[in-house]
A and B are shown apart, each in its own frame.
Chain A
Amino acid sequence: MANNNDNFDHVIVNKPSIGQRMFKYRWFYLMFLPVAVVLLIFFYWPMLGVRYAWSTYKLKQITLRLGPDYSTGWGNFQRLFTSDPFHSAFRNTIVLSFFNLVFATVLTVVIALLINEIGNAWGKKIVQTVLYLPHFLSWVVAASIFMLILSAGTDATGADTSNMGFVNAIVAKIYNLFHNDPYVPIDFLTEGKWWRVVWYIMNRWKETGWGTIIYLAALSSISPDLYEAAEIDGANRFKQTWYITVPSLMDTILVVFILNLAKIMNIFESVFVLYNSLVYDVSDVIQTYVYRVGIVGNDYGYSTAIGLFKSVVSLVLVSASDVISKKVRGYGIV
């Protein structure tokens, strides 16, 4: 036993110290140094600001340089959890983001698979370009396009249909083929039940093409031998996709899903440019709420508390999905 210990100590003693190892790899550490400095300054240093969540920090404290008033304690969190608008914003954030994430995952994978099936190289490039283009438009432009094509017209009685948007005009034509009564245009952007549908469609129209890039890269790394073997075994295109392509993509799908899950609390611009007072109850999200109370209302302590809560929720979601992934597939990403 003693001998064993002696042997073990011998191994430890002979292992190079951390200083020695750092010196050995000094050029790698030097290379990493700028990254570490950037990380510390721009990612970790700002995190110190979370302490404002336990303070009253408004315009007066800033302009007169009084500093935050920490006597508030948990007051901001108390206000947060008893606020109706926050509850509504939290609920909407979860619903909008969750469905958007599901649609995003399914659609990007399906479209990536379809693009992968295009044999003609030129055709493939044209389709990819057309699908990527909306990503480069700003959310304001995207929302304006949807407002124009979905317009219900400018006459509330619906009698004058001259200014109706493209979608309502087509629906009206189809409706009039089968009905004698006049078509009442659908106000897609002010009807709560339609607003969310429009928001999902706008998001997918803008971002699905861009999202396929990572899957197309993953698809290109699948060995053609697998498809060749499957073809010899008599598998048709669908079975090849189902038994080879999809399982090969699962790792990428999982990584992208977990990374996107971390961002689900961050929706802002796409909602901000499209929402209006008639659909606040289904569209107001945490970020738009923070914008109102934090930026417009100059309540930095309270908005920091909301931001902190948001980050905690994101952390829990990512950690939980990683744990589930480890249990189901045997590995995660964290």
Chain B
Amino acid sequence: MKKNVLKRVSALGLSMVMVAGLAGCNGSGDSAEIDLEYGDPDDKPDEISMMVDTTITEENGLQAVCDEYEKQTGIKLTFEKPDHAKYYEKVTLSFASEEPADIIEMGSTYYPELANSGALWDMTEAWEKSKEQAAQGAQGVNCVNIIDEDYIDALRINGELYGFPMAAGNGTITYVRQDWLDAAGLQAPKNYDEFINMLRAFKSRGGGAIPITAAGLLNTETPYDIYLREFYQDAVPDIYKDKTTGKYVDGFGEPACLVCNYLGIDAYQEGLIDAEIVTNKTSTCRDKLGSGLVGAFNYWAGMWSLKLQRSMNEGQLVAIPPIEEANGYTERVPTALAMSVYAPKKAAIFKYFLLYSHDGGEGQMLFTHGVKDIHYKYNPDGSCEALPYIVDPDNKVEKSMFAPELTITEWNDPIPLDPMVKESLEIYRQHRTFATVPVVNDTISQNLADLNVVRNVVVANAVTGKQTVDEAMQYYEEKGGYYANAILDDLNSEANLAAEAEAEAKAKSSSSEDTADDAAGAADEAE
């Protein structure tokens, strides 16, 4: 009897613990509240917290950058820099279980996801008001005049701004072995025929020469075609909004994409594309290039031109303009510094951190090159140079937070860019088009991962000849049609299209107001 009572009491106790646990876990337990008020931009915060991913490491003096910022502004800057592989998991968890940082670095894939979830503060008003204040000659915001607004616009979602660009998104450009071109008596290709002829000439060198390599046939994130612009050409292997009909279509299933498959198939079957393209990682491609095996490789413009050249034992690498059919290179959506909706004094943080770090002066220097005499130094002749990393003395500091070659402001950077970096960027920027922020909603989140698996299978099977293009596309319809249609149905629903039209109209009216204001300002100045 006693035993039974004890058992019952134990079971009851355990159940209560479980229920308490469920209840405890269920509660949000949030200490911070969402504050969407614009606030006073001059109400200087005492402290700003950041969560960063691609900045200089703690071992190399990230704390020194924060300390210097406090010295310059009187605001304490704290940071959290999780392991790169788990960065976005940590970002999500920070919203769930603790107070998220005020400012969060956001890559182009996660930026729209978090903006769509309502986690990021809409800073459109802050930007617009800063422009107004700058026009009136207010102090602390006049840097808006030196910021290239194309990069701001590149982060707009339905006209609203949920993040501030850290630097340009950058894009990829085709690098070619100049010495191989010279040996073949060829010029840099201008169109697809010349491009293919160049690859054939490279192949004819023998000795395992790989005419062109890439890491996969579809990139793992948007823009999916970025590494194979010469083959995708007009095709958009993704869901996009057709400007003529105003409706969303699946570009992967369109004839243009079939054409790209045909082009890819011909080149692959002829041995012009690296046979290991499907299993390649970007590091594998770079290794092959460094070993002197690769003739052409599409990779990031800017600093990577120098790194790739330095990785090569021999030969000269040159960045080339896009071929006619490729319609230019694609500028990725910039990495954003977004602000959590839980952050206090948002307008002030916008002014004292986001604008300050792009001020073209000491703020910009700090967040671009770091701290004087730790990360860079001035020589007696007045020139400025980067110092070696604290824990890697063989290499010089490339950036503290924002890559100098990808700056979004017009400023006089005292540390000159390497000529090769400059050249690749100049060629790239002459031919780039800005990618738009990918559309995100719950239906896309639910179906895109499965759809992309099918797409990868289809392109790989078609290009490597395991299926004919028709068979591959039939497979796409069978296996991927469900996911693609679910996304399209949602995006093309009347409610969604109406909401988008409303947002576009709102953005247009705001833009036309700006233009009118600018015109009025110009007229005033003229008077």
The answer to whether A and B interact is yes
Please give the residue numbers on chain A whose beta carbons come within 8 Å of chain B beta carbons, in ascending order: 17-18, 45, 48-49, 51, 58-60, 62-68, 83-85, 147, 151-157, 159-160, 162-163, 187, 189-190, 276-278, 280-281, 284, 292-293, 295-299, 302
Q: A163 — which chain B residues lie within 8 A by C-beta? A: 208, 210, 293
Task: Judge whether B304 is part of the interface by a CB distance below 8 angstroms.
Answer: no
Besides A60-B442, A62-B92, A278-B278, 17 other A-B contacts (C-beta < 8 A): A48-B18, A59-B113, A60-B119, A64-B341, A84-B479, A151-B276, A154-B213, A154-B274, A155-B210, A156-B273, A187-B275, A276-B279, A277-B278, A278-B457, A292-B449, A292-B453, A299-B445
Residue of A nearest to B269 (CB): A156
B314 at the interface (CB under 8 A from A): no
Kindly state whether residue B448 has any CB partner on chain A within 8 Å.
yes
| The one of B210, B271, B464 that contacts A159, using a Cβ cutoff of 8 Å | B271
Residues of B within 8 A of A151 (CB): 276
Pick from A64, A67, A190, A284: contact of B279, CB below 8 A: A190
Chain B contacts for A281, CB-based, 8 A: 457
Q: Is the CB of A65 within 8 A of B96?
A: yes
Q: Contacts A65-B95, A65-B96, A298-B92; is A278 near B466 (CB within 8 Å)?
A: yes
The 15 sampled A-B contact pairs (Cβ below 8 Å) are A17-B2, A18-B6, A58-B445, A154-B213, A154-B293, A155-B210, A157-B269, A157-B271, A163-B293, A277-B459, A280-B457, A281-B457, A292-B449, A293-B449, A297-B446
B207 to A, closest residue via Cβ? A162
| Chain B residues, Cβ within 8 Å of A63 | 92, 95-96, 114, 117-119
Complex contact B30–A295 (CB within 8 A): no
Main secondary structure of the interface of B (DSSP, over half): helix
Chain A residues in 8 Å Cβ range of B95: 62-63, 65
Rounded to whole angstroms, the CA-CA distance of A44 and B466 in the bound complex is 48
- A160 x B21 contact (CB < 8 A): no
- How many whole Å from A146's CB to the nearest CB in chain B? 11
B36 → chain A, closest Cβ, in Å? Answer: 12
Mark out the residues of chain B between 254 and 298 whose CB falls within 8 Å of any chain A CB in the assembled complex. 268-271, 273-276, 278-279, 288, 293
**In the assembly, what is the distance between CA of A296 and CA of B341, in Å?**
23
Q: Are A156 and B271 in contact (CB under 8 A)?
A: yes
Within 8 A of A (CB), among B456-513: 456-457, 459-461, 464, 466, 479
Q: What chain A residues lie within 8 Å of B25 (beta carbons)?
A: 48-49
Give the size range of B's interface with the partner: 35 or more
Which of A65, A153, A160, A190 sits near B464, CB closer than 8 Å? Answer: A190
Determine if B113 and A298 form an interchain contact, defined as CB atoms under 8 angstroms apart.
yes
B449 near A278: Cβ-Cβ < 8 Å? no
**Least distance between B519 CB and chain A CB atoms (Å):** 40
CB-nearest residue of chain A to B340:
A63
The residue among A51, A153, A156, A284 with the most chain B CB atoms within 10 A of its own CB is: A156
A278 to B293: give the CA distance in the assembly, Å: 24
With A63-B117, A280-B453 as given contacts, are A299 and B446 in contact (CB-CB < 8 Å)?
A: yes
* Least CB distance, B215 to chain A, in whole angstroms: 11
Q: Given A154-B208, A155-B271, does the pair A297, B278 have CB atoms closer than 8 Å?
A: no
From the candidates A62, A85, A277, A297, name the one contacting B96 in the complex (CB within 8 A).
Answer: A62
Task: Known A63-B114, A154-B276, A155-B275; judge A160-B119 contact (CB<8 A).
Answer: no
CA distance A302 to B95 in the complex (A): 20
Q: A276-B279, A277-B456, A298-B113 are in contact. Are A85 and B450 (CB under 8 A)?
A: yes
**Other-chain contact of A153, B34, B275, B279 (Cβ < 8 Å):** B275
- Complex Cα–Cα for A302 and B442 (A): 13
Assess whether A152 is in contact with B92, with CB atoms less than 8 Å apart.
no
Contact of B453 among A17, A85, A153, A189 (CB under 8 A): A85
How far is the CB of A254 from the nearest CB of chain B, in Å?
32
A103 to chain B, nearest CB (A): 24
Q: Which residues from chain B contact A51 at a C-beta distance below 8 Å?
A: 22
A276 and B18 alpha carbons, distance in the complex (Å)? 43
Is the C-beta of B245 less than 8 angstroms from some C-beta in chain A? no
